[in-house]
Structure 1
């Protein structure tokens, strides 16, 4: 054992983050993915694989239609839909790290939210998951918008976002109107109107 090293104590750091007699402290959690050998093509291949397993891993016997783990996981109450949604969100995060335009990311997020919302309904949601295939849609969007800064692609994304915002606004207005009508009906049944 060498007595010249002091492994039980670390040098005290001064207020400027520099240890006494040491180099400036630098974060050790910084990872440069490009120099680590993780390229965009590898990321795209990984996302295609995740999408395949979630949406198209199994062929329904006697048909040419394929389903994945997403609708199957949805059959497990509680954790199934949450797990599938987390994997869908992983595709979205990787797309953001690849530099996909924000409008496309918003469109992809809309697909994930719709899939998670409708997919959480018992049985009906599982059929929707099998038909909607949000992950396959998102990977196709990622592939078409990756390195595509054309005005036509941006305009298509803006049109989609505008339609989505309009649909959500109409849904909220309809929900508000339905709530008022139900409240009036209940008050009428109770005899307060």
Structure 2
């Protein structure tokens, strides 16, 4: 069967009752039963593709979107859980709920204050390390002996710069309200 070509023709056994109902339906549409089946298959496949392609959202800085009121009802235990998590993360309950929703939509981190503090300290340390590496690279370029190569230091410095940019963007995204737009 591997070397045989597949036929583009599809045969479907409908049975007498279903076939008669289908033909009557198609006649009412003014369509040939075979073309209506083909169109139905195309619509089903298109719908399946749309469902299988996940909707993605991303944060944009282009507009300051007005806020809209949205009310939800929670059980006492849900509200208590949110209150506890908000307290641990040093933010308001409202901020915690918004962060949870944004994380669910964008799959991008929404940090609490403790994470922001830790990321800020991490950035500070990485920037200090980068400055030290730049000083070593400068000494090497001046002709002073160092046991490490200039190329290696520059590569490390680029990695650190890239990391600090990513961390800074994550912190900014977490602190600022950004518009969420849907990507298709």
Q: State the TM-score, normalizing by the size of structure 1.
A: 0.28
In terms of Rg, which structure is larger? 2
Task: Indicate the structure whose relative CO is greater, using CA pairs within 8 Å and at least 6 residues apart.
Answer: 2
Q: State the TM-score, normalizing by the size of structure 2.
A: 0.29
